[in-house]
Amino acid sequence: MNPRSTPEQCEAWAPTDYDVAQWNERFRRIQPFVAELDGQPVAYADLQANGYIDHFFVSAAHARRGIGQQLMHHILELAAQREVSRMQAHVSLSAEPFFASNGFRVVVRQTVTVRGVPLDNALMERMQAECFTR
């Protein structure tokens, strides 16, 4: 989340009272890669067959330690192996610089309403062919 996000926006994006069964089902669907530190999960991210990154998250307590970058390297390598031509993700404002530093560009900015609360994000994409020829 954006550090300037309001408490309402944080609660809408990551509700404290969440549906465990729904999250279990979501994880089964997206099949994420999980980064662990001392046996504890600290980050996770997925890569769908069409190149879409549905979730990319590093625990706030473990931010800016290079964990997100390691996870991104793994996903970028996988995308290259799978010959995915275009990767996309809906990225929060606070995560934009991280995705930009990994070759993603903003396609369109949007405001989505989650649980009645407006949240800003951007659709970002990375064209693999361009990155290979750099």
**Of 3 and 83, CB closest to ligand COA:** 3
Work out whether 66 is an interface residue with ligand COA (CB under 6 A).
yes
Minimum distance of ligand COA from residue 35's CB (angstroms): 9
41 binds ligand COA (CB under 6 A): no
Instruction: Report how far residue 99's alpha carbon sits from residue 52's, in angstroms, rounded to the nearest whole number.
Output: 13
Task: From 15-23, 24-32, 59-67, 78-86, give the range in contact with ligand COA by CB under 6 A.
Answer: 59-67
The residue type found at 20 is V
- Interface region with ligand COA, contact rule CB under 6 A, candidates 14-22, 64-72, 79-87, 109-117: 64-72
94 is an interface residue for ligand COA by CB under 6 A: yes
From the CB of 82, what's the least distance to ligand COA, in Å? Answer: 20
CB 23 within 8 A of CB 114: no
Instruction: Tell me how far apart the alpha carbons of residues 51 and 61 are, in angstroms, rounded to a whole number.
Output: 28
Q: Is residue 32 a contact partner of residue 45, using CB atoms and an 8 Å limit? A: yes
Picking from 91, 94, 126, 125, the residue whose alpha carbon sits closest to that of residue 110 is: 91
> Per CB under 6 A, does 89 bind ligand COA?
yes
Closest CA to 97 of 134, 65, 77, 68: 68
Binding site for ligand COA (CB under 6 A): 55-58, 63-69, 89, 91-92, 94-95, 97-98, 101
